[in-house]
Amino acid sequence: MVSFKARRREQELVSPARPTPRETKLLSDIDDQHALRYYETVIGFFRRCGGENDGPDDPAEVVRAALAEALVYYYPVAGRLREEAEGKLVVECTAEGVAFVVADADVRLEDFGEPLLPPYPCVEELLCDAGDTRTVIGRPLLLMQLTRLKCGGFVAGFHMCHSIADGFGIIQLMITIAELACGAEAPSILPVWKREILSTTHSKNPITHPNPSYEPLLNSLDYASESDDVMMSTPLDEMVVSYFVFGPREMKTLESYVRGYLARPATSFELLTAVMWRCRTIALGYKPSQPVRLKITMNARGRWNRHTLIPLGYYGNAHFSPIAELTVDELCRQPLVDTVEVVRRTKLSVTKECMESMVDTIASLRQRPCADPARTYEVSDTKWIAAGNGLQLGWAEFVGGGIPVAGDLTSKLGSDHMRCKNQDGEDSTVVSMLLPWPAMERFKKEMAVWLNKRDDKNIVIQSSL
């Protein structure tokens, strides 16, 4: 992999381009989870297109101006978080601004690899220093670095406070910046705050009948009894991140195990999640009688969720994480089609009533200890992040990106499904995985068996921490 150092200019604060309301805004109960008090990271690679005279001389100046204009609409992002009584967070809309850094790197876009896949080399050089990413109060809520490359392309790296927006919200803001950089007078989708729709007036009394999808989480809050999980006890410096690429041939092989057994064909997410949950469980060496959990982060927006209350333009956290639970023996002995059905049922469990119950459960847990539940595999489908449909700049083409580090390393459990091209230029899925070194070797061997491969060299890209 290429190695380089970015030459960064001094960090500056970019404020809204015009006066904005000065007010205090409440977060939703979903936003206000202690688990979301960190900065999540998204990165985008852009190739300069058109002739030499097309587009601006300096993309950083155009993006900086578009960012200032975008903050007129997303003005809470230019404010600061404050903690009120009982530790509840609010946003003070102060227009203090967001952090912006311009940098230059003596590399070309093709130096990052063809096809462009994680792990991206020297990714820390493409992101401004966010300091302690778990400290969010009184700091800029967005930190952005734009790195200009030798070829005329550039990389946009974002650290955004997760308490303010989820991944979908970050992409919505990025699309707004792209539109304004192309000369649009206003965003095509206006931002919506309305955090009250995912808040509840809840009792301080313990929940006696929690949402069934969250019962495994509540049961796991006794962390003393969960200390036998190797994922919890292994230090990060003894773990490795690997990225597994699944193209049409790999998917066809996996589909052969379930073809004809399902009323509806399995989606790539359902099939890959089922296989990887099983392989991960075996690789980690859990005992047959121990419970293992699958936690799926579900975006509550979109056509799949026709009963949702989430309006178009909502950029706050609108995700729920239903959990399935099986014993190791149940998971690893059942046919793969049954595991796919578990994944599908877990996804479909997020109904309107379930969402309302989950909001109440999450609100009641806000003051509880925050830690990763043991023997849990947490999965997010973030393929839409790298689709790039709204990130075209006319003079610059979005060519790839997404979440640059597995789970942002804020949690050891996270695994992301991202869109990519494989070595043959085919539309594919790349899935991140973080495991202890010995477990990763076992995991790769298990995956090779499912894929009928003699080795894993054609599907895995390894990255040390």
Q: Supply the residues annotated as catalytic.
A: 162
CA distances in angstroms from 315 to 73, 74, 341, 356, listed in the order given: 12, 9, 31, 19
Please tell me the distance from the alpha carbon of residue 237 to that of residue 151, in angstroms, as a whole number: 35
CA distances in angstroms from 463 to 4, 50, 84, listed in the order given: 17, 34, 41
Please tell me the distance from the alpha carbon of residue 200 to that of residue 278, in angstroms, as a whole number: 37
Please tell me the distance from the alpha carbon of residue 463 to that of residue 111, in angstroms, as a whole number: 17
